[in-house]
């Protein structure tokens, strides 16, 4: 079996010389790995959005109060 992988994430790639039964498992694993990568990226994006919104809230409150009472 030829064990090709993608360059960036080393995801398993099918190969024309492999048996279909072997490549089905490799494709299945690649989809599972992609799902996990997307899940992690989505969570990271949500965390960054939350932190940015909190920082903007603090900036607005500091502007309203006229003093930097809340740390950024």
φ, ψ for residue 5, nearest 5 deg:
-135, 155
Can you tell me the mean pLDDT for 3-29? Answer: 94
Question: For the segment 20-65, what is each residue's pLDDT rounded down to a tens digit?
Answer: 999 999 999 999 999 999 999 999 999 999 999 998 998 888 888 8
Q: How far apart are CA 67 and CA 24, in angstroms?
A: 62
Would you state the pLDDT for residue 25?
A: 94
**Tokens 């990271």, located at residue:** 44
Structural tokens at position 3: 């064990």
Residue 32 is predicted with a pLDDT of 97
Whether residue 70 is predicted with pLDDT greater than 70 in this model: the reply is: no
């Amino acid at each position: 079996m030829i064990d090709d992988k993608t360059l960036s994430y080393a995801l398993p790639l099918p190969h024309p010389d492999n048996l279909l039964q072997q490549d089905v498992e490799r494709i299945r694993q690649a989809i599972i790995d992609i799902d996990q990568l997307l899940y992690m990226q989505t969570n990271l994006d949500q965390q960054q959005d939350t932190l940015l919104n909190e920082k903007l809230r603090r900036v607005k409150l500091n502007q309203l109060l006229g003093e930097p009472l809340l740390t950024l």
